[in-house]
């Protein structure tokens, strides 16, 4: 069942039924001010850090789930409704929520009163704009009251939900007839405040939650709204809010537009106050002046839309598969940009109060947005590399505000160092710019410890080389990519973190997955070294790669698939010898991508096993059979009920590895089949089962052994976005940045017979026509001239270069 439809021309998903199976959300913002917006107008705003600088409040684990947002209440002669359906839940005569790139528009109607609500964060300013237009489509004059309201968060989102003995005393606001300023803690150590402004003088206001709502009511029936008035309450402690009320009279056919703006302002220490306790509003006024008229709002909105058109023009495909095109061109790239901004911090599943930016997550995210924002990618790489230690190991996470490594979780995740090589090599391939290797980059952010970035890559390699176990395979440490495979943890204590506890540090547990990574990214590093003339070092690295490859062939092969790991007692994990967890997906993907045991046909066998044993209707399950009981020697993986998360769900992040791996062995049909199974656009038709947004990838889809088979969770902030982008563009379409130029190596399924691709690469625009006649042969023409090999030789050019590839 569908709850809306794609509007590809406008780059939108249009939700037409507000009863979506879960909140379907969108994101606004790019440079500091960020918002989440659900299809019922829920969500929240923050500045840079969703934990430490939360602007509006969202109550987690609420009933109903999606409560708290920017709410507009329309009281039309006693009929009270909201453009986004919630909170009042009055049945609407029509409803549309158009989620676009960085904006959302609600178009709703009740009793011949039409409402259009446009919401976005402008490109350059720290604010969210909500422009509401009411139109009377009836034959009578209407007298309406409109209340716009947001609830302030007291900045630190964790304290805000816990420390009430303090919080209920500290709330402070200032009010004038267009603006309510939130200035809690500004008198003391904060230099920032927020405001909720309107472009017209209000007819009343409230800033105290309990007064506005009434202690025994809820957001469904606030006293102020029911009584079509305001109490002009001034918050002092408790929960400060900001509500502006308007009395509006509309003749038949008449419209009225009001612009609401939530803004964030920082003042220099010596300019904080205008007078005793009165905040200096100079910067707020400037920000408010920029959005006083419809024309100003429209201009900012057009700028935002144009920015996206430009950004997405870097890669654009038109093929005979509409679903593939819309994911590659619009939604998959958009999701990659959101993961660039959010990492894993704020979604409807990540509270924004927990983990910071992950080392491995951020490195992998780069694979998805590098082509869009190479400059910012370079900065990101530097931030990430700066939390590495001199021995090559890394902090697992860092906080975006401070960019310091997160000591609570520490390090010891032995896959982390290698992801840095994945990111840097992709950066060089995309940009052709080797100078990044010289960027002075500190270790553990220590001043004076700066070394050229290439030394960080060396340290990464060296860490794995010097941390191997009894079979010559890399030690796993706290966990490898699979956070829940905790082979040195041995936890019996409820609540103990599986990732940080180490009750039995064996020094033995090994990961075949890291072996695959080492071989794949080790070869990559060797190529980089060769390209910069370090031939000897390059040969040494290849020698180390060979050792791990040999160890994997010898001890990492189970007969029909790759073993997953060796536990603390050197027993196999992910082998037919095990009772449960006989096969895991990760090494099948990575070892095949790394071509380990290619001569022996390991990849083909492993991927056949993946298809036979792990593949369900929605993709490839992470392992099989699911663990039925808790295994102390394996850790969190066996803590989840069967079929959920790391215990046997389709953990979407590693499905694209199987896509890429299948293209490596030349199985194009199967590659596309895996791609299709959990592609959101393909799942739109079964939204009632899948539940999460049909335009966005989720982290996990419950597996066959789960009660709710097919139900997805944790949409948006997942490495699935970047890896699928990589798989779709670089493996299936085969448009592959390489050191010497752009490689075109398509692995299209038979059903895609033709694809026209526009790709901007190192400043040159290529128009690439791929004709798929499944001939098994390859021919490339550049400007009608046949070229040997599959790389377009790179040359700077202002002209569009026409390329034809026949396969």
> Which residues contact ligand GLC by CB under 6 A?
344, 358, 360-361, 481-484, 499, 645-646, 653, 699, 718-719
- Nearest C-alpha neighbor of 565 from the set 577, 576, 574, 554: 574
In degrees, rounded to 5, the angle at the alpha carbon of residue 794 between the alpha carbons of residues 791 and 799 is 115
Copy the structure tokens of residue 99: 């989620």
Q: What Cα–Cα distance (Å) separates residue 184 from each residue in 152, 169, 288?
A: 9, 10, 20
Catalytic residue among 483, 558, 705, 738: 483
Copy the structure tokens of residue 434: 């080797």
| Residue number, 223 or 586, with CB nearest to ligand GLC | 586
| Residue number, 415 or 693, with CB nearest to ligand GLC | 415
| Residue number, 174 or 365, with CB nearest to ligand GLC | 365
In the complex, least distance from residue 373 CB atom to ligand GLC, rounded to whole angstroms: 21
CB atoms within 10 A of CB 546: 12
Helices (H) and strands (E) in the chain, counts: 21, 44
361 is catalytic: no
From the number of C-beta atoms within 10 Å of its C-beta (0-12, 13-18, 19+), residue 90 rates as middle
Spatial CB neighbours of 416, under 8 Å, sequence gap ≥ 6: 359, 360, 393, 394, 396
| Residue number, 113 or 717, with CB nearest to ligand GLC | 717
In the complex, least distance from residue 579 CB atom to ligand GLC, rounded to whole angstroms: 22
| Residue number, 167 or 426, with CB nearest to ligand GLC | 426
| Residue number, 55 or 363, with CB nearest to ligand GLC | 363
In the complex, least distance from residue 520 CB atom to ligand GLC, rounded to whole angstroms: 16
In the complex, least distance from residue 500 CB atom to ligand GLC, rounded to whole angstroms: 9
| Residue number, 174 or 480, with CB nearest to ligand GLC | 480
In the complex, least distance from residue 714 CB atom to ligand GLC, rounded to whole angstroms: 8
**Cβ-contact 411, 396 below 8 angstroms:** yes
CB atoms within 10 A of CB 425: 19
In the complex, least distance from residue 699 CB atom to ligand GLC, rounded to whole angstroms: 6
Q: What Cα–Cα distance (Å) separates residue 214 from each residue in 2, 172, 245, 246?
A: 38, 20, 16, 20
| Residue number, 193 or 359, with CB nearest to ligand GLC | 359
- Of all helices (H) and strands (E), which one includes residue 458? helix 453-465
Separation CA 593–CA 510 (nearest Å): 20
| Residue number, 235 or 717, with CB nearest to ligand GLC | 717
Separation CA 109–CA 95 (nearest Å): 7
Separation CA 383–CA 400 (nearest Å): 9
Could you tell me where the DSSP H helices lie in 343-436?
359-369, 374-385, 416-431
| Residue number, 344 or 605, with CB nearest to ligand GLC | 344
| Residue number, 83 or 358, with CB nearest to ligand GLC | 358
Separation CA 743–CA 787 (nearest Å): 12
Please give the torsion angle defined by the CA atoms of residues 120, 123, 127 and 131, in that order, rounded to the nearest 10 degrees: -40
**Cβ-contact 29, 43 below 8 angstroms:** no
Residue 769 DSSP symbol: E
| Residue number, 481 or 521, with CB nearest to ligand GLC | 481
Spatial CB neighbours of 235, under 8 Å, sequence gap ≥ 6: 171, 172, 173, 207, 208, 209, 241
- Nearest C-alpha neighbor of 614 from the set 564, 664, 685, 565: 564
| Residue number, 260 or 584, with CB nearest to ligand GLC | 584
Q: What Cα–Cα distance (Å) separates residue 795 from each residue in 131, 756, 762, 800, 801?
A: 47, 21, 9, 12, 10
Residue of closest CB approach to ligand GLC: 483
Which residues partner with 240 through β-bridges?
208
In the complex, least distance from residue 343 CB atom to ligand GLC, rounded to whole angstroms: 9
Pairing of strands 315-319, 754-761: antiparallel
Separation CA 773–CA 796 (nearest Å): 31
* DSSP output for 113-135: EEEEEEEE--SSSSEEEEEEEEE
**Cβ-contact 425, 418 below 8 angstroms:** no
Spatial CB neighbours of 299, under 8 Å, sequence gap ≥ 6: none
- Of all helices (H) and strands (E), which one includes residue 653? none
Extended strands (E) in 121-214: 127-136, 142-155, 173-175, 179-182, 192-198, 204-208
Residue 638 DSSP symbol: G
Question: Which residues does the annotation mark as catalytic?
Answer: 483
């Amino acid at each position: 069942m569908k709850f809306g439809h794609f509007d590809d021309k406008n780059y939108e998903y249009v939700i037409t039924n507000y009863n979506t199976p879960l909140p379907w959300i969108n994101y606004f913002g790019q440079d500091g001010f960020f918002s989440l917006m659900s299809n019922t107008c829920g969500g929240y705003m923050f500045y840079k850090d969703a934990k430490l600088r939360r602007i509006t409040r969202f109550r987690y684990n609420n009933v109903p789930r999606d409560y708290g947002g920017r709410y507009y209440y329309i009281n039309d002669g006693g009929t009270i409704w909201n453009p986004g359906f919630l909170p009042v839940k009055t049945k609407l005569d029509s409803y549309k929520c158009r989620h676009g790139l960085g904006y959302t528009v609600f178009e709703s109607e009740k009793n011949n009163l039409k409402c259009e609500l446009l919401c976005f964060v402008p490109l350059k300013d720290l604010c969210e704009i909500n422009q509401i237009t009411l139109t009377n489509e009836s034959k009578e004059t209407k007298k309406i009251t409109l209340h716009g309201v947001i609830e302030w968060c007291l900045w630190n989102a964790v304290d805000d939900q816990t420390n009430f003995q303090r919080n209920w005393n500290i709330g402070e606001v200032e009010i004038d007839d267009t603006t309510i300023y939130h200035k809690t803690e500004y008198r003391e150590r904060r230099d920032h405040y927020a405001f909720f402004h309107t472009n017209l003088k209000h007819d009343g206001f409230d800033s105290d939650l309990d007064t506005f709502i009434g202690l025994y009511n809820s957001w469904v029936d606030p006293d102020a709204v029911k009584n079509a008035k305001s109490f002009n309450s001034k918050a002092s402690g408790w929960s400060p809010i900001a509500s502006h009320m308007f009395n509006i009279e509309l003749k038949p056919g008449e419209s009225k537009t009001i612009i609401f703006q939530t803004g964030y302002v920082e003042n220099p220490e010596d300019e904080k106050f205008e007078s005793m306790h009165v905040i200096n509003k100079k910067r707020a006024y400037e920000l408010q002046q920029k959005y006083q008229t419809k024309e100003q709002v429209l201009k900012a909105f057009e700028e935002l839309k144009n920015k996206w058109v430009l950004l997405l023009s870097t890669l654009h495909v038109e093929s005979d598969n509409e679903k593939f095109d819309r994911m590659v061109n619009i939604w998959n790239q958009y999701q990659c940009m959101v993961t660039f901004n959010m990492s894993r911090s704020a979604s409807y599943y990540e509270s924004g109060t927990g983990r910071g930016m992950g080392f491995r997550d951020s490195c992998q995210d780069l694979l998805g947005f590098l082509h869009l924002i190479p400059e910012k990618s370079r900065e990101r790489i530097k931030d990430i590399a700066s939390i590495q230690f001199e021995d090559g190991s890394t902090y697992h996470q860092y906080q975006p505000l401070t960019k310091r490594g997160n000591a609570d979780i520490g390090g010891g995740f032995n896959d982390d160092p290698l992801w840095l090589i994945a990111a840097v090599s992709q950066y060089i391939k995309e940009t052709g710019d080797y100078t990044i290797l010289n960027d002075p980059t500190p270790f553990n952010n220590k001043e004076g410890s700066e070394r050229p970035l290439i030394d960080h890559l060396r340290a990464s390699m060296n860490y794995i080389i010097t941390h191997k176990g009894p079979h010559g395979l890399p030690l796993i440490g706290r966990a490898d990519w699979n956070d829940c495979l905790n082979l040195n943890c041995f936890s019996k204590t409820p609540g103990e973190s599986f990732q940080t506890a180490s009750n039995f540090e064996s020094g033995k547990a090994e990961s075949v997955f890291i072996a695959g990574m080492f071989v794949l990214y080790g070869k990559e590093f060797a190529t980089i070294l060769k390209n910069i003339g370090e031939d000897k070092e390059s040969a040494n690295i290849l020698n180390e790669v060979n050792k791990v490859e040999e160890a994997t062939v010898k001890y990492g092969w189970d007969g029909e698939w790759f073993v997953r790991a060796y536990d603390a007692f050197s027993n196999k994990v992910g082998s037919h010898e095990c009772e449960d967890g006989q096969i895991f997906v990760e090494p099948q993907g990575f070892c095949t991508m790394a071509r380990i045991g290619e001569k022996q046909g390991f990849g083909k066998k492993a991927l056949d096993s993946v298809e036979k044993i792990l593949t369900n209707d929605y993709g490839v399950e992470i392992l099989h059979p699911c663990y039925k009981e808790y295994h102390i020697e394996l850790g969190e993986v066996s803590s989840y009920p069967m079929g959920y998360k790391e215990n046997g769900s389709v953990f979407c992040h590693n499905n694209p590895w199987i896509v890429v791996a299948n293209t490596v062995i030349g199985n194009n049909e199967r590659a596309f089949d895996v791609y299709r199974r959990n592609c959101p656009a393909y799942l739109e038709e079964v939204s009632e089962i899948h539940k999460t947004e049909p335009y966005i990838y989720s982290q996990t889809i419950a597996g066959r052994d789960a009660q709710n088979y097919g139900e997805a969770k944790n949409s948006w902030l997942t490495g699935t976005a970047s890896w699928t982008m990589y798989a779709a563009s670089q493996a299936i379409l085969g448009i592959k940045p390489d050191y010497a130029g752009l490689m075109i190596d398509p692995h299209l399924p038979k059903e895609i017979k033709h694809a026209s691709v526009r790709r901007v690469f190192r400043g040159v625009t290529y128009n690439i026509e791929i004709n798929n006649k499944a001939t098994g042969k390859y021919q490339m023409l550049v400007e009608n001239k046949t070229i040997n090999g599959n790389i377009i030789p790179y040359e700077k050019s202002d002209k569009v270069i026409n390329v034809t590839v026949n396969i």
